[in-house]
Amino acid sequence: MSEKSYLYPLKFETIFKEKIWGGTKIRDILNKDFSPLKNCGETWEISGVPGNLSKVSEGNLKGRTLPDLISEYKEDLVGSKVYAQYGNEFPLLVKFIDAAEDLSIQVHPNDKLAKARHNSLGKSEMWYVFQADEGSKLISGFNKDTNQQEYLEYLNSGRLTDLLNYEDVKSDDCFYLPAGRVHTIGKGLLLAEIQQSSDVTYRIYDFDRTDDEGNKRELHTEEAIEALDYQSHSDYKTRYTSCLNEVVPLVESQYFQTNLLDFTTGIIREHYESDSFIIYTCLEGEAEIVTQGHSTKICMGNAVLVPRKFPEVHIRAKSGFKMLETFIP
């Protein structure tokens, strides 16, 4: 057998997704060319979802898929605890989403339900708002405690939106959405999404939209009933205080942990205790991700996967940068 190629901080080819609600901010703001698509609703930056496997975009591992790399490098790539739990499946999915129109009102199943119905992970996720048009809103959760019967009464009478919690949104807002929480991204929002590796969505209501052929999109009314969390919550928006040149925790869940790094200079990050890969998702500026002599450039709209083999990460920058730092706790 030939000797393994060496690992290094990995960038991947962007996967572009045209959507009925998609816009042009992926190109106009993030400078990512999605031609020949008419619009781009989502980019998948790091994905192990079957049918949408990320491929390395540069270096000696160029062209290799993420599951292929995990099967070869195992703990060196993802960490021993992560590999023991997920095997060759990559547990997270990193996206940018541009909503030129409201997305459908939807919910995602938890791990137990997704496993039983789809042999999939559940889908808990977080949103970090990159840019928000004035007056933008999103939906997260119910505005009061409800139950299955009342929910169906509202849904079937066309009054579902009266039961939902609307949030005014501005740039740099953050939301964590555990599986089971009803939600939608409102028009005018460009955001980064970090989620469990799942593409299972139950569409509850789609504003009676039709595609180019006049067809309405499929709804999943029955599937959603058992998936929904019918309780209201007081903390839909993540509260944090942004601090320059400090690591600011945003989301701490059992599925992933995400910090905000808003720095005017470089920084050394030490992850000796986390036994996980690290993902850096760049929101502003540019930098170099350096590990034991290997260097990978990152700029706005990029995501870089740092293998577990490199617990010490040097982020070098000539000017400022803002990034999300994500790992498995």
Query: Has 27 been annotated as catalytic?
Result: no
Report strand pairing: 189-196 vs 125-132.
antiparallel
Question: Which own/partner contact pairs does 289-296 have at CB distance under 8 Å and 24+ positions apart?
Answer: 289/9, 289/313, 289/314, 289/315, 290/314, 290/315, 290/316, 291/8, 291/9, 294/6, 294/8, 294/9, 295/9, 296/8, 296/9, 296/10, 296/11, 296/58, 296/59
Q: Concatenate the DSSP letters of all residues of 117-131 into one string.
A: HHSS----EEEEEEE
What are the residues facing 195 on neighbouring strands?
93, 125
Distance CA 104, CA 209 (A): 9
Distance CA 34, CA 22 (A): 12
Distance CA 14, CA 24 (A): 16
- Phi, psi dihedral angles at 221 (to 5 degrees): -60, -50
Among residues 203, 217, 269, 316, the one annotated as catalytic is: 203
- Written in H, E and C, the secondary structure of 249-292 is EEEECCCCEEEEEEECCCEEEECCCCCCCEEEEEEEEEEEEEEC
Active site residue ranges: 203
